[in-house]
Chains A and B, each alone.
Chain A
Amino acid sequence: MNLRASGGVGRGERSDVSNQDIGETPDTSLVATALGGDLAAYGHLVRRHAPMAKRLAVVWGAGDDAEDVVQEAFVRAWSALPRFRPGEEFRPWLLAIVRNLTRNSLRARGRRAARETFAATAWPVTDVADAEQEAIDAVRRDQLLAGVRRLPEGLREVVACRYLLELSEAETAAALGLPTGTVKSRLHRALGRLRTEVGDD
């Protein structure tokens, strides 16, 4: 299930973590504390954002290496934390690192092998019904996901961020390093292509 962690752009000045319930401490406070060398606060950021990071790695084709990629991403994010600009949101900034590492790991496998693997291997899906979600016809779902996988990379990435990972437009733009306008137009083109290929419901 895709659940958004508590973010908090602009919500936290550097606050005293000990006086707050850590579960509700906004990312900005944890980042500020972590920048002071506080591994505790960073550990909490890791816990909070690891599920989404892993989700992105899997959707980007990391497969069995997703755990390793996520772990390495958090290690690198720690070193990169001083470059994190106040006002930036932590999650898309982190996801950009996860994306880069996933792409590196696929490149390390060899370009052709990576492309073939990505196209051929479907994402693992579950058909277990979750009462909280609307059902989707399995055949239709398979068509849609296969259609997404066939999109050219630039369109596929915006669709993956915006719809499969349910990031906002702004988060999508930040995670992919694109202007929001580009995200919007690519989404529109991607949906147009999918509609042509897969057809309307």
Chain B
Amino acid sequence: MTEREPVDDTNLAAELVRAGRTVLVEPPADDLVANVLTALGPASRRRRRPILGWWSWLRARRRRLVVAMMVAVLLVAALTPPVRAAVAEWLQIGGVLIRTGPPPATTLSPGPRAESSAYPAPPVGSRELTLDEARAAVDFPVGVPNALGAPDRVTVTTDGRVVGMDWMVDGRPVHLDQFDGTVSWVFLKQNWSIVTPTDVDGADAAWLAEPHEIVYVDRSGVERRETARLSSPCLIWQPLVADRRTTARLEGIAELVTARSIAESLR
């Protein structure tokens, strides 16, 4: 053995790190937080299931997980009102984190409702593509609302989680995000005070009338802080595109009735 060992250790260690980075781990499911908070919530304490044995209990729970709808939602109902008021509520759908509550200290760039007639900046790390390129770049079906026609601009986040589209409608920017992710409407309606429940094509949808913050979240769960901005009212629903449920978020339409008809025109 030569005395070069420390240098060799460093090189080998660096190689192991690079090797480790190729180990592929799917991000945690969208419903993980909801499931954890449910398990901790007051209701579950009354319903403690008998533990049959650690293993069979785990198997039984996994079957329920597979059936459950997915989203990470804050279980605000468990909090007393004064505490709830102090806590920023948040909802994560796929690649977008939506936050309400007291605005953060930093000034956020305004969203489409601002005086400027520019589109909101796309998330850093997303690319502008044609619609066909965008469809090829992601592994979920992407629709276009016929009511708005072909978008003026299409962007895709580099991790392929969110497809964004922008239009100018009467001089005001309108933005649509489509994600590969789903939403638990039961949680949403029970626990989120800013939501106005509505429907699109007969299925549950949510109208967020108050301005709120959105931040894009990548596959590692890291919030891309530079993407934080205020969103104007938006409609969230789950379109069925090519027989697959995805989630869509339409922003920049002031009236719910108009937003719903645009949403219902998504193909």
Contacts and interface: CB of A to CB of B under 8 A. Distances in A.
B75 A39 contact: yes
Interface string A41-60: 11110111011011100110
The secondary-structure label for the interface of chain A is: helix
Given A47-B92, A65-B58, A39 B11 contact: no
Residue picked from A3, A18, A124, most chain B C-beta under 10 Å? A18
Interface in B5-37: 5, 8-9, 11-13, 15-29, 32-33, 35-37
A194 B13 CA distance: 10
B132 to A, nearest CB: 22
A13 interface: no
Interface string A1-35: 11101000000000011111111100000000000
A200 B37 contact: no
B129 interface: no
A200 B12 contact: yes
Given A16-B86, A163-B13, A145 B19 contact: yes
Contact of B28 (A5, A20, A70, A78): A70
Nearest to B22: A125
A104 to B, nearest CB: 6
Contact of B21 (A2, A18, A42): A2
B72 interface: yes
Chain A to chain B: the 3 pairs with minimum beta-carbon distance, closest first = A164-B20, A21-B104, A163-B16
Interface of A: 1-3, 5, 16-24, 38-44, 46-48, 50-51, 53-55, 58-59, 65-72, 74-75, 78, 104-105, 108-109, 123-127, 130, 133-136, 140-141, 144-145, 148, 159, 162-166, 188, 191-192, 194-195, 200-201
Given A43-B37, A50-B32, A68-B65, 11 more contacts: A22-B90, A23-B215, A43-B33, A51-B27, A71-B39, A75-B40, A104-B54, A108-B55, A124-B24, A126-B22, A141-B18
Interface of B: 5, 8-9, 11-13, 15-29, 32-33, 35-37, 39-41, 53-55, 58, 61-62, 65, 72, 74-76, 78-79, 83-84, 86-90, 92, 99, 101-102, 104-106, 215, 219-223, 225, 228
27 contacts: A2-B21, A2-B220, A5-B221, A18-B101, A19-B102, A21-B225, A23-B215, A24-B225, A38-B83, A40-B76, A41-B87, A43-B36, A51-B25, A51-B27, A54-B28, A69-B58, A71-B36, A72-B58, A74-B36, A78-B36, A105-B54, A125-B22, A126-B24, A136-B15, A141-B18, A145-B23, A201-B15
